[in-house]
Amino acid sequence: MFATTDRTQEVSSAAAIEETCYELGSAMGVAILGSTAAALYRGNLPVLDLDGPSAAAARDSVGEAAHTAERLGGAVGQALIDTASHAYTLAITPAFLLAAALAVAAAATTWALIPRDLQPTENH
């Protein structure tokens, strides 16, 4: 016995696949770009002359570094925020460039895969 599908079921299936791909792409993009930026941030952050917990917090994220700098205050806090800001800038720039390169690659791939013999129909 063959299962038949009407046009509504086909469109619903296509929409479900598109939505799943969108969600998966968004999650993968955040994971890949976030991991790249975090690794570069830690790699660009020099050895800090801080106690263990403060240094660990600053290496964790730029937000934690800002919180630690506020807690420390004074010249040490200002030096920490300056250092963390510089490391963040050095980290996020390549991550954004990677995102741009992936977007261009996706657009080029999509353009290359579009069939050249598509003909518009009366009803669409």
63-72 tens-digit pLDDT: 999 999 999 9
Task: Give the three-class secondary structure for 27.
Answer: helix
**CB 116: neighbour CB atoms within 10 A?**
4
pLDDT in tens, 17-67: 888 988 998 899 899 999 999 999 999 988 878 888 888 999 999 999 999
Residue 20 to residues 24, 26, 53, 107: CA-CA distances in angstroms? Answer: 6, 10, 41, 19
Are 48 and 58 a contacting pair, CB within 8 Å?
A: yes
**CB 84: neighbour CB atoms within 10 A?**
24
